[in-house]
Amino acid sequence: MKKLFTVLTLAAALNFIFVLGVAGWLMQSGHVDKAKLKQMREVLFPPPPPPAEPAQPVADASTTRPSLRLESLMAKLAGRSAADQVEFIQHTFDAQMLLLDRRQRELADLQRQVDLANEKLAADRATFEKEQQALAAREQAAARMETDKGFQDTLQLYTAMPSKKVKEIFMTLSEAIVQQYLEAMEPRTAAKIIKEFKTPEETAFIQKVLERMRQAQASGGNGKSS
């Protein structure tokens, strides 16, 4: 067997030398040029096949299929000892819990900011409403100060006039104004004036005024109407 291997090796070497000699003779005699010699070399001594192209990267299935994350994790643990596997899984679990805890804190901070903003908005709204109410009260007080003197002078005049004459004047006024005067008068004076309303039109009018007075008393108001 060793002799056969030696013979084959020697034959291959002789063939190689023969081929080189023929190639040199062809080059010197001008039968072939460098391009043809290169073609002959590629035929006699073909280059090794090129390495296979690497497979195209495939999208990580764990990003599209969360259920494969556990499989990917277990693949990383292949060949490790049981203690290493437990330590790796514990480390991974701890990292995920820290990430989850951080996100929960961030959400809690955002919620607190929203709550504080809502509280400030409610406080600002309450302050604005109080200011609006105070402004309305001041305006009403100013209006009453302008009209109170005239109202009191007219009330004294109606009180001194005959009841029938006051009734005639009241029939030309609105129900709200008549209500104010009757409520401001002494009960006996107001009763005398009310008795003067006798015709159906007068009775209907004074009944509406008395109903307004009754509703004002029932609601606990002061009976004054604007």
- What is the pLDDT at residue 201? 96
* CA pair distance 145, 151, nearest whole angstrom: 10
Sequence spans of domains, the chain: 83-146, 161-226
Compute the distance between CA of residue 106 and CA of residue 112 in angstroms, rounded to an integer.
10
Q: How far apart are CA 157 and CA 154, in angstroms?
A: 5
pLDDT of residue 225: 47
Longest dimension (CA), the chain: 161
Which residues of the chain have a pLDDT value below 50? 7, 62-63, 222-226
Q: Among 214, 169, 226, 218, which Cα is nearest to 196's? A: 169
Rg (CA), the chain: 57
Q: For position 224, what pLDDT does the model report?
A: 46
